[in-house]
């Protein structure tokens, strides 16, 4: 692995490029780090450029390879005009980036101390479509549940999903050399949509970005950044395993991938990822990020390709690794093979924004300067001195603790046909949706996009919630109803549709049932 250390020996030659004020070993974070404005901008540009290239590279493979790797003989396309093609034909591919830019834009308008409610409302009212933890958070916010409760697992069944992990790049890019500052930003923003391991994914990615400004030793970056995560968390334990497996199998990324699948591929939270190979959980996808970085050995293509071939969320994961590596290498050192496609779109605004890459470079640079000065650093002409931070762990959180999925029961009924639903367990999630047929569209008193079904839910004879179910896909509720932390016993659930309309249908699909004991080989452990 290529290793260029933290530049701790402050020689005259090094001072022309970057420097530090203390003599430390290569395994230490320096007290200060000096970088020129042009170098800082080059690294910030490299981060945004890498993220865009990586997202494009893996785009066609996203969730097409679930629980399996993309074999070496399967080609992954890249040709002239490729990024522009996606910009113009499938702009939603870049949700990794325009989601980041939502928060970058709020910081630009309201300052780096922008209140979380402003960040949350900008996110919730944006024109783009969302999924998983992001969509559950949007629904919560629009219905009065604000952060951090909007991302809490009791209110968000997708709390452990990858969402903030793919959106945390901005926090690292605006906090060079300052992982704890990035964690503070992520505490505020990341809890809009995630909790526990889902939040840790963004904290870790952000920390790796910050350290990529002051070191290009990848093993150092991934190991040091992991210090931001509590050691007793599953997330930390998985990342630590990947680092250990890399040392044990340094030339075989597939062996490490298999070890991850055996130990860490089980998803218990996301209702779409339980009982199926699909896995959007932050833990396993972060492991793929780490595999790409460690086995890529600093090579831009190899790093991006390995992260993609690990499968699952295989556009977001190469976007993260290419963004981190883009900071390490710098914009000017990314091969023209990739950059010639990027240059064609740098003045084009991302979908749902008025921000292009060229504008994003400038915005993140300006915010980084503010954060550096806020953190005690100084700007002296062309030179910038960063007061570096030794990573400290964020607080411990764990979602879905003590919950074990034991049954996926197909319901496949409309609400009028459900009647009483009886189950035994400690938690339940009802999957489904609201749809509008031709009757709804033709009803002069009803615009189906604005219709919201009101459903009264009764649990064990007690009214527990009146659920609002928008037919509008952008504001939808991901699941019809869920409840955790129930006593282990038989339960009965009923649903009463309070405002039925002709042409509207409330549809139930599957029901996920949880217990306080795991189920192994069809037998519940005592």
Identify the CATH number of the domain in which residue 497 sits: 2.60.120.260
| φ, ψ of residue 423 in degrees (nearest 5) | -150, 160
- The answer to whether residue 14 sits within a structural domain is no
Based on the fold, state whether residues 382 and 327 are members of the same structural domain.
Answer: yes
Look at residue 524 in the predicted model and tell me its pLDDT.
65
- Could you tell me which of 186, 202, 55, 174 has the C-alpha nearest to residue 104? 174
Based on the fold, state whether residues 349 and 491 are members of the same structural domain.
Answer: no
- Could you tell me which of 326, 400, 318 has the C-alpha nearest to residue 361? 326
Please tell me whether the peptide bond between 148 and the residue prior to it is cis, using omega within 30 degrees of 0. Answer: yes
Based on the fold, state whether residues 193 and 277 are members of the same structural domain.
Answer: yes
Look at residue 25 in the predicted model and tell me its pLDDT.
34
Residue that the structure tokens 């780490």 belong to = 290
Positions of the chain with pLDDT lower than 50, given as ranges: 1-26, 439-446
Domain end: 387, 415, 439, which one? 387
Based on the fold, state whether residues 287 and 430 are members of the same structural domain.
Answer: no
- The answer to whether residue 22 sits within a structural domain is no
Instruction: Please state the pTM of the whole predicted model.
Output: 0.93
Domain end: 387, 414, 438, which one? 387
Give Cα separations from 357 to 228, 333, 499 (angstroms). 29, 17, 46
Centre a 10 Å sphere on the Cβ of residue 336 and count the other Cβ atoms it contains: 9
- The answer to whether residue 20 sits within a structural domain is no
Look at residue 521 in the predicted model and tell me its pLDDT.
72
CA dist 459 and 487 (Å) reads 12
CA dist 458 and 442 (Å) reads 32
Look at residue 522 in the predicted model and tell me its pLDDT.
67
**Letter string b/e over residues 472-488, b meaning 16 or more CB atoms within 10 A of that residue's CB:** eeebbbbbbbbbbebee
Based on the fold, state whether residues 408 and 379 are members of the same structural domain.
Answer: no
Based on the fold, state whether residues 136 and 263 are members of the same structural domain.
Answer: yes
Based on the fold, state whether residues 371 and 417 are members of the same structural domain.
Answer: no
- The answer to whether residue 217 sits within a structural domain is yes
Based on the fold, state whether residues 356 and 458 are members of the same structural domain.
Answer: no
Look at residue 523 in the predicted model and tell me its pLDDT.
66
Look at residue 448 in the predicted model and tell me its pLDDT.
55
Q: Which domain holds residue 490?
A: 404-524
CA dist 83 and 159 (Å) reads 31
Count the domains in the chain.
2
- The answer to whether residue 203 sits within a structural domain is yes
Based on the fold, state whether residues 378 and 416 are members of the same structural domain.
Answer: no
Based on the fold, state whether residues 217 and 362 are members of the same structural domain.
Answer: yes
CA dist 146 and 204 (Å) reads 24
- The answer to whether residue 171 sits within a structural domain is yes
Look at residue 28 in the predicted model and tell me its pLDDT.
87
- Decide if 33 contacts 19 (C-beta within 8 A): yes
Give Cα separations from 380 to 6, 8, 11, 385, 441 (angstroms). 22, 21, 20, 8, 63
Looking at the chain, the number of H-run helices and the number of E-run strands are: 19, 14
- The answer to whether residue 397 sits within a structural domain is no
Based on the fold, state whether residues 96 and 158 are members of the same structural domain.
Answer: yes
Q: What is the CATH number of the domain that holds 60?
A: 1.10.4080.10
Domain end: 333, 362, 387, which one? 387
Q: Where is 339: in which H helix or E strand? A: helix 336-343
Burial of 395 (0-12, 13-18, 19+ CB in 10 A): exposed
Based on the fold, state whether residues 509 and 377 are members of the same structural domain.
Answer: no
- The answer to whether residue 1 sits within a structural domain is no
């Amino acid at each position: 692995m290529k290793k260029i250390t933290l530049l701790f020996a402050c020689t005259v030659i090094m001072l022309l490029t970057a420097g530090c004020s203390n003599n430390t070993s290569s395994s230490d974070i320096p007290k200060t780090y000096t970088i020129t404005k042009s170098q800082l901008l080059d690294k910030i540009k490299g981060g945004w450029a890498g993220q865009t290239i990586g997202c494009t590279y893996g785009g066609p493979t996203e969730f097409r390879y679930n629980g399996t790797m993309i074999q070496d003989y399967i080609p992954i396309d890249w040709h002239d005009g490729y990024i522009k093609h996606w910009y113009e034909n499938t702009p939603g591919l870049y949700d990794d980036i325009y989601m980041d830019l939502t928060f970058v834009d709020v910081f630009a308008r309201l300052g780096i101390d922008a209140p979380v409610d402003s960040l949350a409302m900008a996110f919730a009212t944006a024109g783009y479509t969302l999924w998983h933890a992001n969509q559950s958070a949007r629904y919560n916010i629009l219905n009065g549940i604000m952060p951090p409760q909007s991302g809490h697992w009791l209110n968000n069944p997708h709390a452990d999903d990858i969402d903030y992990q793919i959106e945390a790049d901005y926090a690292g890019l605006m906090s060079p050399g300052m992982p704890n500052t990035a964690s503070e930003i992520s505490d505020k923003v990341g809890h809009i949509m995630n909790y526990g391991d889902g939040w840790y994914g963004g904290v870790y990615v952000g920390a790796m970005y910050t350290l990529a400004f002051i070191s290009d030793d990848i093993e150092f970056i991934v190991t040091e950044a992991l210090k931001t995560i509590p050691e007793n968390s599953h997330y930390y334990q998985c990342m630590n395993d990947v680092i250990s497996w890399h040392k044990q199998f340094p030339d075989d990324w597939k062996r490490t991938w298999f070890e991850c699948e055996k130990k860490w591929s089980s998803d218990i939270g996301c209702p779409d990822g339980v009982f199926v190979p699909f896995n959007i959980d932050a833990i396993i996808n972060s492991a793929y990020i780490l595999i790409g970085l460690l086995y890529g050995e600093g090579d831009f293509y190899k790093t991006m390709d390995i992260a993609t071939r690990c499968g699952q969320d295989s556009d977001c994961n190469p976007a993260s690794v290419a963004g981190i590596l883009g900071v390490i290498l710098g914009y000017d050192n990314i091969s023209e093979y990739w950059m010639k496609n990027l240059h064609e779109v740098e003045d084009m605004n991302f979908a749902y924004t008025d921000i292009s890459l060229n504008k994003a470079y400038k915005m993140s640079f300006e915010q980084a300067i503010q954060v550096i000065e806020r953190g005690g650093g100084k700007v002296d002409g062309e030179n910038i001195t960063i007061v570096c931070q030794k990573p400290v762990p964020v607080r411990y959180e764990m979602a879905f603790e003590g919950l074990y999925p034991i049954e996926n029961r197909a319901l496949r009924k409309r609400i009028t046909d459900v009647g009483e639903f009886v189950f035994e367990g400690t938690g339940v999630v009802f999957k489904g949706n609201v749809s509008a047929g031709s009757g709804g569209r033709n009803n002069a008193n009803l615009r189906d996009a604005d219709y919201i079904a009101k459903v009264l839910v009764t649990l064990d004879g007690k009214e527990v919630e009146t659920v609002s179910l928008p037919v509008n896909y952008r504001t939808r509720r991901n699941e019809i109803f869920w409840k955790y932390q129930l006593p282990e016993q038989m339960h009965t659930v009923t649903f009463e549709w309070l405002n039925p309309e002709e042409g509207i249908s409330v549809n139930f699909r599957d029901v996920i049932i949880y217990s306080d004991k795991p189920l192994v080989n069809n037998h519940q452990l005592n």
